[in-house]
């Protein structure tokens, strides 16, 4: 190390200023020559910095390090942080690991939300830090990111602007119980809050058990404005008028609008599809020994999902139950009557799906058997046939042809 000279700086008895180009010198030797030039005071520091090809700020940095530590201060320093950001106290890390073991399907983000909601006074680490803790313990694996495949809903889809505006329903893929029989879980969600209204273990996708399930839901939670489903049975019937089955026409009678996603486009019900992935992981592997046992598992999962499990779609990532409220539209004990304007002719659909107009049979759909439809004359003597607020199509009495054209009239 150099010695302090009479002028107040350091001297280098063993150093001579030799004009060696920077590219042929080591950074350490260049810094020593720079310091010696500054201590000789033959020119200003800014000029010396310019000669050595460095900024004045860099030059002052090396001068400060030399004055503090001598030649040792001119050596390169590690750029690694002095303290790792994700290093946690062992007790804190142990609590995170314990919670993960209790909820083995919760990822770092879900664990972070759960901890903040249940113990808000604790200084919980960031999601990335929780992820590092879980990786270190071998509790999660790194996943390759996939390109986003989310598809925006078509323009005619109803926006879920509040609870009970849009419910979504679907049958999760069937699976075998331990007895070997198939179980078909029928799931219904409120789209706005992602509240699980019901997950029911059914032995079939037939209309009757599905209708009984929805009747129970409507009694408990009231009626939604819209029910969005895919095009599978029992929600839709591709060969029927407007792809509407018995279940959909019952909903219309109750004042609920059925909405179908486009065929082969499950992304239009993406939130529900994502829920099924969660349901499958939590409540179907392995399957139960009976329908009763499987239903108990679904009920336990539903309680946790609604009241305890954080959800990213809700404010502050609170569980769905914190945002859901019951519908103000009650389920009627008796089906309301179908009322049509006075100028509308009313016909009852027979058991084969026909009505008659001046003796001429018009086939509509067997799914409306026993129901009343209205016939209203429009321009050119064409009759518009309506069921409740749904126009089914138009009948031209001159050609005696019915043209299906389902559309909402109110």
Q: What is the DSSP string of 161-219?
A: -STTSEEEEEEPPPEE-TTS-EEEEEEEEETTTTEEEEEEEES---HHHHHHHHHHHHH
- Average per-residue pLDDT for the chain: 82
| 270: pLDDT strictly greater than 90 | no
How high is the pLDDT of residue 403? 93
In our burial notation (b when 16+ CB lie closer than 10 A, e otherwise), range 13-44 reads eeeeeeeeeeeeeeeeebbbbbbbbbbeeeee
Give, in degrees to the nearest 5, the angle at Cα 275 between 264 and 279: 115
Q: Which distant-in-sequence residues (6+ apart) come within 8 Å of 355 by Cβ?
A: 347, 348, 349, 361, 362, 364, 373, 375, 385
pTM: 0.64
What CATH number should be reported for the domain whose range is 3-74? 1.10.10
pLDDT at 10: 44
Residue 17 has pLDDT above 50, yes or no: no
Is 50 exceeded by the pLDDT of residue 71? yes
- Among 22-31, 147-156, 209-218, whose mean pLDDT is lowest? 147-156
Pick from 10-19, 77-86, 97-106, 353-362: least confident? 10-19
* For residues 298-326, average pLDDT: 84
Does position 340 have pLDDT exceeding 60, yes or no?
Answer: yes
Residue 349 clears pLDDT 70, i.e. is over it:
yes
CA distance 252 to 86: 56
Give every strand in the sheet of 372-377, ordered side by side: 345-348, 372-377, 383-387, 390-396, 401-408
> Which of 64-73, 333-342, 386-395 holds the top average pLDDT?
386-395
Architecture of domain 166-322: 2-Layer Sandwich (3.30)
CB 291 within 8 A of CB 176: no
pLDDT digits (tens, 9 = 90+) for 34-59: 888 888 878 888 888 888 888 888 88
pLDDT above 80 for 14: no
**In the predicted structure, residue 143 carries a pLDDT above the cut 70:** no
**Structure confidence at residue 195 (pLDDT):** 94
pLDDT band at 315 (very low <50, low <70, confident <90, very high): low
Residues forming a β-bridge with 347: 373
119 Cβ neighbours under 8 A, 6+ residues apart: none
Lowest mean pLDDT among 8-22, 192-206, 388-402: 8-22
Q: Which tens digits make up the pLDDT trace of 186-207?
A: 999 999 999 999 999 999 999 9
pLDDT score of 314: 64
**Whole-number Å distance between alpha carbons of 316 and 331:** 32
Is 343:383 a contact under the CB 8 Å cutoff?
A: no
Please state which of the ranges 14-28, 153-167, 230-244 shows the lowest mean pLDDT. 14-28
Nearest to 40 by CA among 57, 24, 16, 73: 16
Instruction: Identify the residue with better confidence: 110 or 328.
Output: 328
What's the confidence (pLDDT) of residue 156? 67
Rounded Cα distance, 372 and 352, in Å:
14
pLDDT of 24 over the 50 cut: no
- Residues 99-109, mean pLDDT to the nearest whole number: 78
Indicate if the pLDDT at residue 221 is higher than 70.
Answer: yes
DSSP string of 311-353, one letter each residue: -TTSGGG--GGGT----SSPPPSSPPPP---TT-EEEE--TTS
- Report DSSP letters for 153-166, one per residue: PPTTSPP--STTSE
Alpha-carbon span 251 to 390, nearest angstrom: 12
């Amino acid at each position: 190390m150099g010695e302090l000279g009479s002028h107040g700086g350091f001297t280098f008895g063993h150093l001579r200023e030799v004009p060696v180009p920077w590219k042929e010198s080591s950074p350490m030797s260049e810094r020593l020559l720079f310091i010696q030039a500054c201590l000789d005071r033959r020119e200003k520091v800014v000029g010396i910095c310019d000669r050595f090809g460095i900024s004045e700020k860099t030059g002052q940095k090396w001068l400060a390090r030399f004055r503090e530590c001598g030649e040792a201060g001119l050596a390169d320093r590690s750029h690694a942080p002095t303290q790792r950001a994700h290093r946690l106290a062992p007790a804190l890390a142990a609590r995170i690991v314990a919670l993960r073991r209790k909820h083995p399907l919760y990822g770092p983000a879900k664990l972070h939300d759960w901890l903040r909601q249940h113990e808000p006074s604790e200084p919980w680490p960031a999601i990335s830090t929780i992820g590092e803790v879980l990786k270190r313990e071998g509790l999660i694996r790194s996943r390759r990111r996939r390109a986003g495949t989310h598809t925006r809903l078509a323009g005619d889809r109803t926006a879920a602007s509040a609870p009970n505006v849009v419910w979504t329903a679907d049958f999760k893929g069937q699976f075998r119980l331990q007895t070997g029989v198939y179980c078909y879980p029928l799931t219904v969600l409120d789209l706005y809050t992602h509240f699980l209204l019901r997950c029911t273990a059914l032995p079939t996708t037939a209309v009757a058990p599905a209708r009984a399930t929805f009747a129970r839901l409507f009694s408990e939670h009231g009626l939604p404005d819209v029910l969005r489903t895919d095009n599978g049975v029992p929600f839709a019937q591709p060969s029927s008028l407007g792809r509407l089955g018995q279940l959909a026409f019952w909903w219309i009678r109750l004042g609920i609008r059925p909405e179908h996603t486009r065929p082969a486009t499950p992304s239009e019900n993406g939130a529900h599809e994502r829920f099924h992935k969660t349901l499958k992981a939590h409540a179907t592997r392995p399957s139960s020994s009976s329908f009763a046992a499987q239903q108990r598992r679904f009920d336990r999962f539903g309680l946790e999902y609604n009241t305890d499990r954080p959800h990213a779609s809700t404010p502050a990532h609170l569980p769905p139950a914190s945002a859901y409220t019951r519908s103000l539209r009650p389920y009627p004990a008796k089906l309301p009557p179908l009322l049509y304007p006075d100028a509308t002719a009313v016909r009852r659909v027979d058991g084969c799906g026909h009505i008659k107009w001046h003796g001429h049979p018009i086939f509509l759909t067997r799914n409306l058997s026993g129901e009343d439809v209205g016939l209203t004359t429009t321009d050119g003597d064409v009759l518009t046939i309506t069921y409740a607020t749904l126009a089914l199509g138009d009948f031209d009495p001159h050609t005696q042809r019915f043209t299906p054209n389902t559309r909402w009239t109110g």
